[in-house]
Amino acid sequence: MGSFKKDFTGESEVQRSGSKLLPEEGAPDPAISPDNPLRPVTFGEYVGQSRLKENLLIFINASKKRSRDSGHHDLDHLLFFGPPGLGKTTLSGIIAHELGVNIKVTSGPSIEKAGDIAALLSSVKNGDIVFIDEIHRMPKAAAETLYPAMEDFKLDIIIGEGVTAKSLRVSLPRFTLVGATTRAGLIPSPLRDRFGFSARLEYYTVDELSLIVKRNALLYDVKIEEEAGFEIARRSRGTPRIANRLLRRLRDYMIHLKKEVITLDVAKFGIESLGIDEIGLDNTDRLFLRTIMDKFSGGPVGIDTIAQAMGDERDTVEDVVEPYLVSCGFVLRTKKGRVATESAYKHFGISKDGGFF
């Protein structure tokens, strides 16, 4: 079971570690920062993921009702998984806002040892949200420290070392852990089982992304034609983060072209200048597909081999590039490796034998 130690000076790892995990005192939390005007703070502003929003509202309202009777929030721990850029961090901030509590934000790679978890949890107050992004990347010892904290709201502390070591269990205020990951399968089963609710975030529809683009253009004080907003949505790979990024870049192209409105022509010019095609594939996506098709005869080929041939990191290729290509039906994941489908060949206008359609 996870623990952290106190040395003979009496200074614990809680005191020595973990300050990098939390925002500075008085600083806005990144998940709900006013410095990011595009990030929704209420469910009413949040577009998409309708079924998930309905469930979360039920859980939150029930928790608030119980808190009026018991005096404390008891929202269960939540796990969100799915491709990056779909709103997992935003949802955690909205949940904190709806409950009227604080949120502590950190990420799995920032947590190096069990003491970091202890430092994080020692600062929570009753009902607070603790958000851990990329939770699958936490070290095993840190994850084990979370088990009793999530289940019993206790921290196991070891005081001293060797034969004089003593175990002490410290009570924590009730909190809600919200975990986010792009790779739910890498979360240890004991940790995954302690979440009371888990949900996969789905890619957004073009209509949903169009609404997001329209809303965010207003927040940026940028005029945009409806057809241009639809064009951005259509080429955003079902991902709000990409749609927002394209909107910012098209704002630049609008100024470059000396226009006062992002028209359809401005949108097409800018998006094509960025190397994004009709269905949202960029240069990296095309490189991924052409690597399988040209260098490995369409596959099957292992993901490590593909990443090496591309000169990229496996995690980037597997977590960022591949999921959308799989959802488009361009790539199959098989036991022997990745395979480019006939749809992928048709997208490039060629057949598997090298001919043209």
Of 78, 76, 93, give the one whose Cα is nearest residue 42.
93
Rounded Cα distance, 270 and 251, in Å? 9
Catalytic residue, from 90, 176, 181, 182: name it.
182
Give the H/E segment covering residue 155. strand 154-159
Catalytic residue, from 133, 137, 192, 237: name it.
133
Indicate if 133 belongs to the active site.
Answer: yes
Scanning the structure block, which residue is given the tokens 């990024």? 245
Indicate if 176 belongs to the active site.
Answer: no
Rounded Cα distance, 169 and 149, in Å? 10
Helices (H), ranges, 72-178: 88-99, 114-121, 140-152
Catalytic residue, from 6, 39, 89, 285: name it.
89
- Tell me the residue length of the chain: 357
ω into 300 cis (within 30 of 0): yes
Catalytic residue, from 88, 194, 235, 251: name it.
88
Q: What per-residue string of b and e applies to 85-119 under the rule 16 or more CB within 10 Å gives b?
A: bbbbbbbbbbbbbbbebbbbbbbbebbebbbbbbb
What distances in angstroms separate CA 46 from CA 43, 52, 87, 218, one per listed residue? 5, 11, 9, 15
Q: Please check whether residue 120 is in contact with residue 130, taking contact to mean a CB–CB distance below 8 angstroms.
A: yes
Q: Which residues pair with 301 in a beta bridge?
A: 338
Rounded Cα distance, 348 and 42, in Å? 42
Indicate if 200 belongs to the active site.
Answer: no
Indicate if 89 belongs to the active site.
Answer: yes
Rounded Cα distance, 85 and 319, in Å? 11
Indicate if 182 belongs to the active site.
Answer: yes
Of 57, 135, 58, give the one whose Cα is nearest residue 91.
57
Rounded Cα distance, 116 and 299, in Å? 43
Q: Please check whether residue 128 is in contact with residue 173, taking contact to mean a CB–CB distance below 8 angstroms.
A: yes
Please name the residues in contact with 42: beta carbons below 8 A apart, sequence gap of 6 or more. Answer: 94, 97, 98
Strands 337-340, 331-334: pairing is antiparallel
Catalytic annotation, residues: 88-89, 133, 182, 241
